Chain A
């Protein structure tokens, strides 16, 4: 299995510990362009595209394997094994925060710490739990996805898939940003928004930094607070930001909070 090809893995920076950046629903690793450069001086930085997104190998998209988040968690562990050096800190946005939690549960101890940006263990309201959404909101989203291929078409596919490792890679990544093959987008939307990972996060023992936007429709403050309450070893940090992507719209505030959380591993590098 060629992981580099499958997940369009990119490695940069240098350090004793490794930060693995895992993007969320809708986009690709280009979303880290604003935040990741803050860490390449002190950490080894690994970024990748989830299978089905960005420049990943669409041929590898197996409907059954990626029918649950476990399929993605399995891939993440493979990438960690192949590319990480030293302690591993997972930086996961949105659904990838939960993929990280699942990867941790599959291989306890392998991930030293989690940075969760806009995480939500469950999007749909439940008895005694506010996720912010109702079941038909998700159907409405699927409908909107159906109406918007965002420039995706079969003619576009070869350009978007490109060839990982080529110089024009970063151009291709930004070019293909948020463009996903429609069938895959539908399935990933369903898997993301209908999953329930409340049980999985409760069992996490590694340190967790929760970066919560002050105004986020997808992951509201109540959800961030809920997570901080149930995850025992968690640090809660409220970022003054509107929207679900503080790493894009408020990268400096995110980087500042992360630097202090990551200090123990950055010190290890200085030794």
Chain B
């Protein structure tokens, strides 16, 4: 190559010995690095690199040149005489001479492109970091979901266990209660002083209440953990069944005034015991929350092949917020701690009993009109 062409080439050129010792450089090379030809010849090419570049030269570049005889597009930082980094792209080629091997090196300045590539590299690193963060968040989310699922399963098992416990305990309470009632019956048959009669009356009423609570609990557990409440329907005189129930309730709630109205006429096919239980629960509810000075009105209606029983009391209006969940278990119309109330299952059981008959229950309540619970049942199930 003519010397002027070599010197004025648009890239830095060098010829080195096999060990990297510079044998020849062009003017571009000396310009770029700020060293004279005399200073460069005899130095090793790799000594012009930054430390990272030198290690790379030793571990990658030199072995590759030996193995392949050439390298292309290797980006390296060289160090200018003034200490500034000059980023170059290196192509190298092995050339066999008669008695030795030399390497022809061509260097292209790439400082601006290097800046661009670094920006790309940084963007890539950022993207990778964000991805890693996202993945970590997803893993945490999955873990939280799994934990939640597990906690839910545990609480479900606990609820199931509690309900089964209630079923067992309620069932076991029936026997001692029956013994108490039998004993009080037996005592009531003999000669008693007025005071003793009064006390026996308390025992009767209290065990009656306890029995209703137990019945409620058993129905509740039947509805929740058993196979649902079972009914046995038979043709009956609806008004007569309601009348009978009201009669019995007058005994159970001696302080309340119960009034029974009938509307319409006809027969229905229902479970008489369950109808009585519905009325009992609604009356007990009215006795607890209604105005004790005023009547509790029970209306039985027969019309359009449907039976209806409505229980009305003059109580305070049930707050709007409570109405929505009034028929859920353990819900009370007010927060008053009344000793006449049961465990808060009465209305829930009313609704379950209505449903199992194919009917439903509704409530309307206002300060002016009082509170009315209306159970609608199909006359034939």
**A residues in contact (CB < 8 Å) with B:** 24-27, 30-31, 33, 94, 133-134, 137-148, 150, 174, 177-178, 193, 215-218, 242-245, 248-249
Contacts and interface: CB of A to CB of B under 8 A. Distances in A.
Contacts of A244: 58-59, 62
A144 B56 contact: yes
A245 B52 CA distance: 17
B59 A140 contact: no
Contacts of A178: 59-60, 63-64, 67
Contacts of B19: 215, 242-243, 249
Interface in B1-27: 18-20
Categorize the interface residue count of chain B.
Answer: 20 to 34
B51 A133 contact: yes
B75 A147 contact: yes
Chain B binding surface, main DSSP class:
helix
Nearest to B125: A146
Nearest to B87: A147
B66 A245 contact: yes
Contact of B66 (A148, A193, A215, A249): A249
B74 A141 contact: no
Given A140-B55, A243-B20, A245-B62, 6 more contacts: A24-B59, A26-B59, A27-B60, A133-B55, A139-B52, A243-B62
A30 B46 CA distance: 23
Contacts of A243: 19-20, 58, 62
A73 to B, nearest CB: 20
25 contacts: A26-B63, A27-B60, A27-B63, A133-B55, A137-B52, A137-B55, A138-B52, A140-B50, A144-B75, A144-B76, A147-B114, A147-B121, A148-B60, A177-B63, A177-B64, A177-B67, A178-B63, A178-B64, A178-B67, A193-B55, A218-B55, A243-B20, A243-B58, A243-B62, A244-B62
Contacts of A133: 51, 55
A147 B64 contact: no
B53 interface: yes
Most chain B beta-carbon neighbours within 10 Å: one of A133, A150, A216: A150
Contacts of A30: 67
B60 A174 contact: no
B312 to A, nearest CB: 75
Given A150-B74, A177-B67, A137 B51 contact: yes
A142 B56 CA distance: 9
B54 A217 contact: yes
B189 interface: no
B59 A25 contact: yes
Nearest to A118: B58
Contacts of A26: 59-60, 63
B121 A146 contact: yes
Contact of B68 (A24, A174, A218): A174
